[in-house]
Amino acid sequence: MKTISIPQYYIVGNQYYNYYTEQEVPCDFPEPNEPVLIDPIQLEQFSYDVIQFQYIPDTGNNTALLQFEIKLNNNSNQPVEGTHYLTINIDGIQISTTYGINTCQFIEANSSCTISFETEDSHNLGTANSIELIDVKYYLISN
């Protein structure tokens, strides 16, 4: 018997993520070459705490301000590698995004990590009336 690494991938929000699983197979089993498209794998023992989520559509400086701080909790007994996705509602339209935040890719077992974001955008580009947080998920990159 031998252990092989099976290349897989999933797509979330126009982002491509590699995911590998290991499997024990007979020694004459061929090595997999082509990655297989799978559904995103969520960390099941995950929770989050919103420390702050604030949207100010008009700061008085011809700008809108969005800032948030969210604690991501790995409630499992295993360290994890993955990426967070926030689902937000912008004036009635739901989108999912990472906001380009590259922190919290690794979270130790029974531990947490905090993501923070702040942007102030000019009204010249248009502005939303409201932005609200709907949900946060954590997708695994490896097991």
Q: What is the pLDDT of residues 29-65, one digit of tens each?
A: 988 888 989 988 899 999 999 999 999 999 999 999 9
Residue 13's pLDDT is what?
A: 67
pTM higher than the cut 0.95: no
- What value does the CA radius of gyration of the chain take, rounded to a whole number of Å? 19
What are the structure tokens assigned to 102, written together? 């590259």
Cα separation, 127 vs 32, whole angstroms: 48
Least confident of 2-16, 37-51, 96-110: 2-16
Task: Please determine, for residue 143, whether its predicted confidence score (pLDDT) is greater than 70.
Answer: no
Residue 124's pLDDT is what?
A: 87
Name which of 101, 96, 100, 99 is nearest 114 in CA terms.
101
Alpha-carbon separation of residue 107 from 23, 50, 82, 120, 132 (angstroms): 24, 17, 8, 29, 25
